[in-house]
Amino acid sequence: MTHSPLLRSDQTLFRDPDVFEFTYLPDHLHHRDAQVRELAFLLRPALRGGSVLSAVLRGPPGTGKTTTVRRIFREVAEETQQVIPVYVNCRHNHTPLAVYGSIFKQVCGYPAPLAGRYLDDVKEGIASRLQDRNAALVVCLDDADELIPAGTYNLLLYQLLRLYEKWDVRKAGVFAVTSNLGLNLGAEADASVRSVFHPTEITFLPYSRTEIREILTDRVRQGLYPRVLPAPLIDRIAQIAAGEQDVRVGIDLIRQATLRAEKDGRRRVTHADVTAAARAVTAPALRARATRLSEAERALACWIAERSRDGADMASGAVFEAAQEYLPVGKTTYHEHLNALTKAGIVDLVPGAGRGREVRLRYNAGDVAAACKAPDKTCKIPNWA
């Protein structure tokens, strides 16, 4: 059957749009076997009448921490009555009442009664259900670092981990999750918490480009109709997402690029759709990166961007020589600034054919220039020193 390259207005390219929501729980969890094994190991004692052991899960955003825990919890809930897994999103629940309310609802299956919602009543409700079922509780405090500014992190850990002292239940396990690498959730625990909280550290490293491509390919298969997004474009999207070290950028790019094609009534996503979507999706990341640069580094980035847009020679040496023509910049300073731009993820230094390295922008040149311009909207180099 042949069909027109154009979509009818009632047709869609999405087999299942929910697949591109961040809350979507994928059928297959890729490349997280080690973390799944460690978490399963911590859950195991509870299957033999003991307690779940605690953990701190740590890794940058978009490394699958939430997904991994939710997958395991779903399996536990399906397969055993001995453990009651509870997932708490601390971004939305950071007061004790909100956290215990969320735990109550998941343990008991209905919301805590509004009347007399004193904390002790809610806790007692949780404990008595655990007793009835002779089950062990495990609570995932996702984005638990949000509890620290709220001043409830230590309080909640202390109470949860000592629930068993007041009520005759098994000791609870806590999986505390954070995407904040500047923070050590274990060390944030105060002395009284540390006496009952001995978490295993579980690390989630960023996915490689190949891993991202596999995750995205799977998502495309589930979410889009066949042939909508050709494999080379998935490769390109994976590369962009790997550059941002965030698989979510890739998922978002697929959705946005496909929406553009659909809006135009086309059956295929094109290179141009991905380019346009990439600019929209990565703009906030680029702006954030630019603000972390020094004034002189920003100026160099801006100047490099304009040069690249003009199609000039981008070999590192040629860039330096050209810069020198009207900038009082020494070679050492130039290389320091260039390294800073690489670290900030704005340029890559790519080995060239025998001529040293080439300076390549990670983003659209116009966007880099715009993000790095001085307040007076020019790209002039200030004092280098």
Ligand X SMILES: Nc1ncnc2c1ncn2[C@@H]1O[C@H](COP(=O)(O)OP(=O)(O)O)[C@@H](O)[C@H]1O
Q: Which is nearer to ligand X, 248 or 357 (CB)?
A: 248
Q: Considering the complex, state which of residue 60 and residue 243 has its C-beta at the smaller distance from Mg ion.
A: 60
x-or-dash string of contact with ligand X, 172-211, rule CB under 6 A: -------x------------------------x-------
| DSSP at 266 | B
User: Per-residue string for binding with ligand X, 242-281, x by CB under 6 A?
Assistant: -----xx--x------------------------------
* Contact flag: residue 24 with ligand X (CB under 6 A): yes
Q: What, of Mg ion, ligand X, none, does residue 29 touch, CB below 5 to 8 Å by kind?
A: ligand X
* DSSP 8-class letter at 167: S
Distance CA 289, CA 365 (A): 15
The token duo for 210 is 């190949």
110 annotated among ligand-binding-site residues: no
Give the bridge partners for 357, in sequence order: 351
Compute the distance between CA of residue 33 and CA of residue 35 in angstroms, rounded to an integer: 6
The interface partner of residue 24, options being ligand X, Mg ion, none and the CB cut-off 5 to 8 Å by kind, is: ligand X
The C-alpha atoms of residue 275 and residue 96 are separated, in whole angstroms, by 46
Does the annotation place 64 within a ligand binding site? yes
Is 342 a known ligand-binding residue? no
Helix (H, G, I), strand (E, B) or coil at 359: strand
**Measured distance CA(72)–CA(59) in Å, rounded:** 18
Minimum distance of ligand X from residue 63's CB (angstroms): 4
Are 368 and 301 in contact by the 8 Å Cβ rule? The answer is yes
Q: Which two tokens stand for residue 238?
A: 């994976």
Q: Closest distance between ligand X and the C-beta of residue 253, in Å?
A: 12
End-to-end alpha-carbon separation of the chain, Å? 68
Q: Which is nearer to Mg ion, 66 or 152 (CB)?
A: 66
248 binding partner (options Mg ion, ligand X, none; Cβ < 5 to 8 Å by kind): ligand X
Closest C-alpha among 204, 91, 80 to residue 141: 91
Residue 66 assigned as binding residue = yes
Residues making up the binding site for ATP: 63-67, 207, 219
Give the binding site for ligand X (CB under 6 A). 22, 24, 26, 29-32, 59, 61-67, 179, 204, 215, 247-248, 251
